[in-house]
Amino acid sequence: MYFKDKTVAKDTFFHKNTTLNAGGKLIDLSTPAVMGIINLTPDSFFEGSRKQGVDDALKQAEKMLADGATFLDLGAYSSRPDADDISVQEEMDRLLPIVEAIVKNMHEAVLSIDTFRARIAEAAVQAGAHIINDISGGQLDEDMFATVAKLKVPYILMHMKGNPKTMVALAEYQDVFSEVFNYFTTRIHQLKQLGVKDIIIDPGFGFAKKPEHGYTLLRRMAEFQQLGLPLLTGVSRKRMIYGPLGISADEALNGTTVLNTIALTKGAAILRVHDVKEAVQAVKLFNMMSD
């Protein structure tokens, strides 16, 4: 059962967990935080996010941390629509040298790993990463939930149907909010049964969702707060912004800031973005409005 009142006051929600234990680092999410995206791929949808070499990735990580990012999200498998599949070994080869370099050179960095593969998750955490960000919510690797439980790391549970090759064709819903909410309810229960302590939920904007589905979820996003978990919003430069505006992803920063600001008013605890400085500024101004 979920609230249907879109204007429920912040202090009437169920108790929400606002801290994460990331490798012994206690992170307070009572104030929204920013997660910077670093794609270690040649084909992610936004060209400006692609950093394939160690030096380029380190420069981007350093800049994002200086701009105010709390988290860095590293992904070595492109999840754009119709992206090509790559082997576990290729994903590992792209990812681990960057993880090791950031861990060695930037002790303050809190690293999130964007992967749906349990083997990658385990290797990355062993190399020093702190959080697993799984676009498939454990659906593409049946070992993921047990692996995260064993690793005792925070887990970002995202909603998606199918995989990057098939998700566009699966973007059909009777009621997108109810389907996503019920998905979270079921899978959160499974994770908690395994002993996973820190769970973050992500509605999966753009993943098996048309723009209208994304705007429905954004409009009703505050209702997810009754699940009592931190909420991540990832709308940065996505089709739901540049499509309706008739522009490209390269031109979608202004629209991204608009939707990130709306997400903050709906209770977003983490903004996952390509452009850290602008998101941090949005959070700062949003906080000026807080009581």
- Annotated active-site residue in 51, 94, 238, 266: 238
- Annotated active-site residue in 50, 51, 94, 272: 272
Catalytic (active site) residue 238: yes
Got the DSSP string for the chain? -----TT--GGGSPP---EEEETTEEEE-SS-EEEEEEE-SS--SSGGGB--SHHHHHHHHHHHHHTT-SEEEEE-S--STTPPP--HHHHHHHHHHHHHHHHHH-TT-EEEEE-S-HHHHHHHHHTT--EEEETTTTSS-TTHHHHHHHHT--EEEE--SS-TTTGGGG---SSHHHHHHHHHHHHHHHHHHTT---EEEE--TTSS--HHHHHHHHHTGGGGGGG-S-BEE--TT-HHHHHHHT--GGG-HHHHHHHHHHHHHTT-SEEEES-HHHHHHHHHHHHHT--
List active site positions.
Answer: 238, 272
